[in-house]
Amino acid sequence: MAQPTGAVLGIDPGIGTTGYGVVDEDGSGNVVLIAYGAIETTPGAPMPERLKTLHDAALALMRQHQPESVAVEQLFFGRNVTTAITVGQARGVVLLAAAQAGLDVFEYKPAEVKQALSGYGNADKRQMQEMVRLLLNLDHIPRPDDAADAIAIAVCHLQSRRIRRLKIEN
């Protein structure tokens, strides 16, 4: 197998559950899943404690897997302002951890991730999860959902990185 080109840590931030997925590609351009899971914080714990837990776990993941870069979902502002604020705080902590680790951060809108994986910017959650399973040749959809979302974000970045590299070469 050819040498990997540089792992990407995908993050789907949330204050209760933050999904993560580490992917790379082999020399043939096949996406390889290295690790995935979720960072969970204690419900009801004070917000500063939850943010510290998230920060410390994100930094530990970055040190463990030594990705080339981090891909994070941009904040989608829906109807629930309180949720948007807490997700924003979680994103901020992840961005801080990436900066402390000296990693480049790339941010993607949900529609960009959907377009990159399914070819359809309005794909639903189930379609996206199935595309992650198919692209990585997995028997099952990764769980929890936040981890599957994080893997999708990382794969989106791999595709974006390929395009940027092709542009540089030409």
pTM for this model (two decimals): 0.90
SS3 content of the chain, % helix, strand, coil (to 5): 50, 20, 30
Which one, of 96, 100, 33, 107, lies nearest residue 71 by Cα? 107
Q: What does residue 13 show for φ and ψ, rounded to 5 degrees?
A: -75, 145
Among 9-13, 111-115, 118-122, the range of highest mean pLDDT: 9-13
Whether 73 is catalytic? yes
pLDDT tens readout for residues 122-161? 888 888 899 999 999 999 999 999 999 999 999 999 988 8
**Per the residue annotation, which of 24, 112, 146, 149 is the catalytic one?**
146
Q: In the predicted model, what is the mean pLDDT of residues 72-95?
A: 84
pLDDT of residue 3: 38
Positive or negative torsion for Cα 147, 64, 24, 113: positive
pLDDT band at 118 (very low <50, low <70, confident <90, very high): confident
Q: In the predicted model, what is the mean pLDDT of residues 70-95?
A: 85
Q: In the predicted model, what is the mean pLDDT of residues 113-117?
A: 90
A 10 A CB-CB count for 96 gives 14
Which one, of 142, 148, 143, lies nearest residue 123 by Cα? 148
CB 45 within 8 A of CB 117: no
pLDDT of residue 89: 94
**Per the residue annotation, which of 12, 24, 25, 112 is the catalytic one?**
12
**Per the residue annotation, which of 24, 25, 73, 149 is the catalytic one?**
73
pLDDT band at 26 (very low <50, low <70, confident <90, very high): confident
Rg of the chain over Cα atoms, rounded to whole angstroms, equals 15
pLDDT band at 121 (very low <50, low <70, confident <90, very high): confident
